[in-house]
Structure 1
């Protein structure tokens, strides 16, 4: 009897500890705010979710109320989950804050973050195509780098978890809990890839909280300013899924967003590649991928001319599971110069494919007899290298972006094969 009671106590404690899970931060677009999002598997009737925060672990003196969204997974059982969102306001740049989320039913552990000081250089990890089952090695490296205070933000450019909706959403739960050790401490910005399309982007819409765009406000495309940079995330899946109305709405929003942009640097991200090397002689040229670049008159407005017209500096994407940096390109033409590692006043956007953050390790849980959405890494040795290609790498890793000021930014490729990370492709972009 004593043993049974002890076991029941442990089970109840474990269940209670799991009531608040998947805590992650994101930017709202306002410099003095930080958004926190978390999830519970059960509803909170007559209970208000909130975040408590302050300058010390024992001094969580400020409180912000949250809002709750209940939503059903698209699986046959329609599993319900409850996403809670709260915004911490009036934060001081550079200040470390401690916080805890939950409700009177249960609270999370205490986490902390440093409110971005946008007068300092920006450091960002950018990648796509990260799996929970094949990507643990990369997740571990990102956690280690976060503990060393190497990032100000992390941006995931589509294809999360492989897939968020698998196993009635439990794969998404596993992924979000696995990344909590970095996403609860550093803003984690996301948008959709092809693996998030299912059921009208159900999981990407309901699990996250991205800056509002004033059109749909559903996390699928957004922008924000950070220091000298204007970041733009676009939904290439509108094109791949032939969603003409949505592509036009996004294009109109993008036109206005670019016209109002006054930042020195403009960085655009989307999931599907426009240019890269592959096993095909023409490289990346799948119809679904290049439709957003070229467009179809009166149906799908092409994006490349608009981005070039507004002098976008850097374009990043994923989808192909490898890394490749390219020369500045416009309309298939590469603009080469003397030093591919140092470009000044680029006449067109520089392109980086950064979809190789998956890990070689694959250890599925015992319960998994078939893992849908698993993907394999692409090695440049199997590709026909294109004339516009500068550097292609077969290692697993992510792009590390540093924006120093209004005239200099750098990118590098971080190999995640060891915990410390190896930098394999230093690149400098300068402008007057």
Structure 2
């Protein structure tokens, strides 16, 4: 449900009793009606209800969401419809642009109330999410443009089709070409018609979405690193979000990470016992978006894109030394072929590195407890270039740092051998902004209390550009470059080469 006050676009409504409103409706597999209430929110009284508004096909396939598969030359397409396996066969019709098309089948999942862990997801927030379909497009040719359509073959022999979309297949691992990656967290959704909904506090979301859509020709892959929708148990908001980002997700891979607002629920196996997921306990995120994890209930995974290796952690599960996730993180770092993938990137939702957020400052830790203490030796040993986090709703960048010590006095142009990992908080995607501590954090080089997102551009195996852009205007407000060749990656710095002896 969404609402507007009757005087939203008609200021004299109270005096004249006349006015008009414009409300945006998205297809959510059912009819809509408009209701007029008097008495305000405190004492609402139903005055009138409109006739039903019906979509031409409420079950139509909608909101395609691309994601990297488990191999570099596989793309997955996930979408939502009202067709279950008892009424239609889902598939993708696809092929190289201008060439013969083939059809690939899709699997189908759905969710019921019992899948949820608690209220409101099981009670007032419950809404049938429809059917979620995923198809796997395999053996793609690198850098090739493919077109695709979502299809459903009804059992009476007729076909239901979506519009046609297109994407560009990933580059071959190690390919030397310009590759552009956008990373941000904590965006959520907002209503373009100005109406009000539950959890109405992600007012930067539409600006961030617009900037990405406007610059999509210069973006190859997107990472939304947790706190995706902020549905918090109100399931209909997943449709609202996937509709909002569909112009992006239908064209480039949209990789997600798990955040507290997707996963956390007491007694559900999450590392934190909060109720931040509103009873969803990860089920919606694991179903609505595909990630190439071995087990999507454990939301950690790796993915390669050209010259990049991304190691994506799940901060809502234990990451400490000796855990299954810690072992995954080390394997992900250790298996990166730095000759092919020189740019090694760590991604997590909660800040496992460094943040000047007021609540971290009050604790005196500037991190999640046991965050960097558990992982900093891995970042240093395997020479992780940049670590990205969300959770804190602002932007911040550190110096190359290890054990709280800046290892390089340079601020914008890093050259030669690796010194330490640069840590970036990119949690200003759209949700209400977070304050910084007044304490002087000497390792913090740039802070911004505003909405924005980050972008990496790899020009080749030796040159990487980092940019921070504001969502309000899309302009660059912070940047740095890394210039480093393969010999530099092999070189030793603090604690990242194995000690040797005469015997060895």
SS at 1:103 equivalent: strand
In 1: Cα distance, 2:364 partner to 2:186 partner: 19
CA positional deviation for 1:104: 1.6
CA positional deviation for 1:307: 2.3
In 2: Cα distance, 1:102 partner to 1:67 partner: 12
In 2: Cα distance, 1:403 partner to 1:252 partner: 28
In 2: Cα distance, 1:38 partner to 1:284 partner: 42
CA positional deviation for 1:388: 0.2
In 1: Cα distance, 2:133 partner to 2:355 partner: 39
CA positional deviation for 1:385: 4.1
Distance 1:54 1:349, change over 3 A: same
Q: 2:442 corresponds to which residue?
A: 387
**Stretch moving more, 312-321 or 259-268:** 259-268
Contact preservation (8 Å) 2:354, 2:367: no
Q: 1:366 corresponds to which residue?
A: none
SS at 2:281 equivalent: helix
Check if 1:13 corresponds to 2:85. no
In 2: Cα distance, 1:8 partner to 1:87 partner: 41
Aligned pairs, number? 386
Q: 2:354 corresponds to which residue?
A: 275
In 1: Cα distance, 2:457 partner to 2:349 partner: 21
In 1: Cα distance, 2:180 partner to 2:408 partner: 27
Computing the radius of gyration over CA atoms, which structure comes out larger, 1 or 2?
A: 2
> Where does 1:195-274 land on structure 2 (aligned, <5 Å)?
195-197=261-263, 198=277, 199-213=280-294, 216-218=295-297, 220-239=299-318, 248-263=323-338, 264-273=342-351, 274=353
CA positional deviation for 1:202: 1.1
In 2: Cα distance, 1:195 partner to 1:385 partner: 30
Aligned mate of 1:179, from 245, 251, 256: 245
CA positional deviation for 1:287: 9.1
The alignment yields a C-alpha RMSD, in angstroms, of: 2.6
Distance 1:226 1:377, change over 3 A: same
Aligned mate of 1:323, from 384, 391, 395: 395
Q: 1:192 corresponds to which residue?
A: 258
CA positional deviation for 1:161: 1.5
Contact preservation (8 Å) 1:121, 1:405: yes
In 2: Cα distance, 1:43 partner to 1:104 partner: 11
Check if 1:403 corresponds to 2:458. yes
In 1: Cα distance, 2:102 partner to 2:363 partner: 50
Q: 1:89 corresponds to which residue?
A: 138
CA positional deviation for 1:329: 1.5
Aligned mate of 1:109, from 163, 170, 177: 163
Deviation string 1:21-69 (CA, Å, 9 cap, x unpaired) is 2211001142322110011245231532110012347x66111111111
Q: 2:420 corresponds to which residue?
A: 348
Contact preservation (8 Å) 1:397, 1:414: yes
Aligned mate of 1:53, from 64, 89, 94: 94
Aligned mate of 1:430, from 479, 483, 493: 483
Contact preservation (8 Å) 2:311, 2:333: no
**Stretch moving more, 275-284 or 396-405:** 275-284
Distance 1:290 1:405, change over 3 A: farther
Q: 1:138 corresponds to which residue?
A: 208
Distance 1:281 1:28, change over 3 A: closer
Check if 1:123 corresponds to 2:180. yes
Distance 1:280 1:11, change over 3 A: closer
Q: 2:268 corresponds to which residue?
A: none
Distance 1:279 1:288, change over 3 A: closer
Aligned mate of 1:22, from 33, 46, 63: 63
Q: Which runs of 5+ in 2 are unaligned?
A: 1-49, 155-159, 191-202, 264-276, 489-504
In 2: Cα distance, 1:32 partner to 1:101 partner: 20
Contact preservation (8 Å) 1:277, 1:283: no
Contact preservation (8 Å) 1:280, 1:384: no
**Stretch moving more, 124-133 or 70-79:** 70-79
CA positional deviation for 1:162: 1.4
Determine which structure has the larger helix proportion and give its number: 1
In 2: Cα distance, 1:402 partner to 1:415 partner: 17
Deviation string 1:362-408 (CA, Å, 9 cap, x unpaired) is xxxxxxxxxxxxx421355x643410011112332100111122222
In 2: Cα distance, 1:60 partner to 1:315 partner: 42
SS at 1:176 equivalent: helix
Q: Which runs of 5+ in 1 are unaligned?
A: 1-6, 295-301, 359-374
Deviation string 1:276-326 (CA, Å, 9 cap, x unpaired) is 2233694775698232322xxxxxxx2222222211111000111111111
Q: 2:375 corresponds to which residue?
A: 303
Aligned mate of 1:416, from 467, 471, 475: 471
Contact preservation (8 Å) 2:360, 2:368: no
Contact preservation (8 Å) 1:412, 1:426: yes
Check if 1:334 corresponds to 2:415. no
Distance 1:283 1:128, change over 3 A: farther
**Stretch moving more, 115-124 or 151-160:** 115-124
SS at 2:180 equivalent: strand
TM-score, normalised with respect to structure 2 = 0.71
Distance 1:283 1:232, change over 3 A: farther
